Structure 1
Amino acid sequence: MRIDNIEFHGFKAENRYAKVEFSSDNVTVIYGDNGCGKTTFLKAINSFLSQNDDELSSIGIKKIICNAVDEGNPKSICVTFNEKGYDWSDFEASCLVNSKSISLGVERGISTQPLIIGPEVIMRFFQRHNYLLRGFRGIELSQKNLYELSAELSLFLKRRNSDKFRSRRLDFDFDKKHLYLQNIKMNNIEEMLLKRHRDARLIATEKIQRALFDTLAVAIEVENSSAESTDTDKCSLRKRILDRKDRIIEALNDGDENSNLKNKIVDILKKIDQPGELDNILENSLLSKLFQNMIDELEEVENLMLRSISLIVNRFNAYLINDKKLVFSRNEVYIDIGNERHSIDELSSGERHILTFLSLVLLGGQGRNFLIIDEPEISLNITWQRELMQLFSMLLPSTQIIVASHSPALAKRNSKYLSELKVWRD
């Protein structure tokens, strides 16, 4: 499904018209003079796709002519405004009625750092209000002890505020068919990434524990019937166990049930690096089958749910310099810099924009027909701008990507992406 062209009548004025012929590729970079209405044009496209009468009316749209194609079948769609409102009959008989889109405004990667109160500020407060610690309370503190108290209180407040920000729910709903995101905060990006990571871990835990009991059930059946030989590629299984042992331990420990069987499996895996332990597993048909089933289940989950997270991490880390890298832990996404770490809020504006794009494109853009972005070049250096459209095209090959920009660098490597916003009056 794609749109070949779209034309708006009554574009910000009764006798004003606006039209774009989209690129034959899956990326279109709309350009035009400042003030010609590129941002409004993107907003009008979103309002058209989502059948938002109020937004179209606020722009002044009286008529929309759109030519779309679905599986090689062209369709001309005309939406007109009359005394009863907009007539959507053509639209509702077209492929676009089942379309999905995501639109990103210019306020992306907004830092949401919690308020940090340094120990010096707290110490000055105690010094000016010394009656709180002395006098009738009978407390006497040296300057050193007072500073230590202030530092501890400062750290407590910082952690509390960080937890408060981190625990906020998402401000947007990916279940919406047409998602319009004007204001995208970094705490939303962090929560979105963590939610996907948590969901994957939960499913992995359930599948691995089910594999544990399913394997035992099969073993009991075999024991009660006849012996059954299993052909296992020991060399391949050896490598798979070594590669996945930490993830299996993690998944088993995530489970609520604290059974002796689970603990026994964890102990076996923890000793696997000791001489002869892995060979003992490979020679034991039951354990070999058990770990093979667990790894199969784990890889299935990771292929389905964690592939996008891994892609975000790998792609984003390729943009970072000075040994910085994005890291996931159980309850946190952070930036590792050697022996130090900081939150994603403390990234540069360009880094925050790239992480926002990657997260929303890979986690929110999958399965959508249209990705619409206003001024994607904001805060990005020239090198990143030149790579951005090709990156989007590679990540979402089946999605029509429509952006409005002032930067020719976005189409530097493919001039076919460019399409002028034509505006005229009758």
Structure 2
Amino acid sequence: MQKYADYIKRIEIDSLWSGHKHIVWDLDKKVNILSGINGEGKSTILNKVEKGLSPGGEFASHALRGVHLTVSPAEATWIRFDVIKSFDRPLMYAEIANKIEENGVNTDLDWQIYQLQRRYLDYQVNIGNRIISTLQSCAADAAAKAQKISEPKIKFQNLIDELFASTRKTLIRTKNEIRFLQTEEELTPYQLSSGEKQMLAILLTVLIEDNQHYILFMDEPEVSLHIEWQERLIDMILELNPNVQIILTTHSPAVIVNGWTDSVTEVSDITDQVEGKK
């Protein structure tokens, strides 16, 4: 049986950048923010960890591709994780673009949202089945338990409506797929602004992990986000799923302003020159 980790306790990377540096990063179980000047290696560290995991989240007990993870519980050999990429670039893969261009999927963020839509449908089926099963149990508190199952989805919908209120967009709650109403026009998520797509992708990713313990990697998630959204980002993620461990890189002071200063680690503080390593 697969044993999944609740969170990562330590990341070690051997001989980063052609053997010149060694990374040892002790992590908090909730929020971890990596900061540093351009070119210091923030994104490289996250990419190394991501590539050290199999697509399903399995990781070796020994260093794989120079990456060693210490997790809790210690006997776990799998990690649930998601990766948020923030740059809304045109799609580079013609075969993907050709398959889905009729849906308006043109950028990396569009493709992320397209894939999330499929997972969102599965999530809704899952919670729907759980609600039915709970109500059919005829327990005295069945209705209260069923309502609790639906709370994260309702919280997600309310957050999106609140965030998008300034552009008069609201989620259409009667549809299975993500759709918006702006005045009287129905919009797909691919018609949103880059900042709106970015926020939708982040919060939808968090929602469909369905309150499980998992790790959310984010590389400069503040790109395209309004300053007020940056300030609320971490709090909103933890509100949707308090079991998530956040590992992110950022250049923005706004991301940490709401009480997350102590969660910031400088790249230079976790880096040793191999030559000078004890």
TM-score range (shorter-chain normalised) is 0.7 to 0.9
Match of 1:317 in 2: 161
Q: Deviations over 1:377-416 (max 9, x none)?
A: 1211111111111222333333321111122221112211
Aligned residue for 1:13, secondary structure, equals helix
- Aligned pair partner of 1:372 in 205, 209, 217: 217
CA distance in 1, matches of 2:184, 2:43: 43
Identity of aligned residues (%): 20
Aligned residue for 2:258, secondary structure, equals coil
Shift in alpha-carbon separation, 1:348–1:16, aligned structure 2, 3 A:
same
Aligned residue for 1:7, secondary structure, equals strand
Match of 1:349 in 2: 194
What do you get for the CA RMSD once the two structures are aligned? Answer: 3.8
Q: Is the 8 A contact 1:20 1:420 kept in 2?
A: no
2:240 matches 1:392: no
Larger Rg: 1
Aligned residue for 2:119, secondary structure, equals helix
Match of 2:94 in 1: none
Correspondences of 1:237-256 after superposition (within 5 Å)? none
Match of 2:16 in 1: 11
Shift in alpha-carbon separation, 1:50–1:405, aligned structure 2, 3 A:
farther
Deviation at 1:347, TM superposition (A): 0.9
Shift in alpha-carbon separation, 1:36–1:100, aligned structure 2, 3 A:
same
- 5+ residue gaps, structure 1, are 71-93, 113-159, 167-180, 212-292
Q: Is the 8 A contact 1:108 1:356 kept in 2?
A: no
Q: Is the 8 A contact 1:9 1:15 kept in 2?
A: no
Deviation at 1:356, TM superposition (A): 0.9
Q: Is the 8 A contact 1:323 1:337 kept in 2?
A: yes
2:226 matches 1:381: yes
For 2:243, give the aligned amino acid. Answer: S
Question: When you count helix as a share of all residues, which structure comes out higher?
Answer: 1
Match of 1:192 in 2: 119
Shift in alpha-carbon separation, 1:161–1:43, aligned structure 2, 3 A:
closer
Q: Is the 8 A contact 1:20 1:421 kept in 2?
A: no
Corresponding pairs, count: 249
Shift in alpha-carbon separation, 1:38–1:182, aligned structure 2, 3 A:
farther
CA distance in 1, matches of 2:12, 2:125: 44
Aligned residue for 1:17, secondary structure, equals strand
Match of 2:3 in 1: none
Could you tell me the TM-score, scaled by structure 1's length?
0.49
Deviation at 1:111, TM superposition (A): 8.8
Q: Is the 8 A contact 1:377 1:405 kept in 2?
A: yes
Could you tell me the TM-score, scaled by structure 2's length?
0.72
Q: Is the 8 A contact 2:59 2:79 kept in 1?
A: no
Shift in alpha-carbon separation, 1:6–1:297, aligned structure 2, 3 A:
closer
Shift in alpha-carbon separation, 1:424–1:300, aligned structure 2, 3 A:
closer
Correspondences of 1:217-256 after superposition (within 5 Å)? none
- 5+ residue gaps, structure 2, are 1-5, 92-100
Deviation at 1:56, TM superposition (A): 4.4
Deviation at 1:190, TM superposition (A): 2.7
Match of 1:40 in 2: 44
Aligned residue for 1:400, secondary structure, equals strand
Shift in alpha-carbon separation, 1:362–1:333, aligned structure 2, 3 A:
closer
Shift in alpha-carbon separation, 1:31–1:335, aligned structure 2, 3 A:
same
Deviation at 1:317, TM superposition (A): 0.8
CA distance in 2, matches of 1:358, 1:111: 22
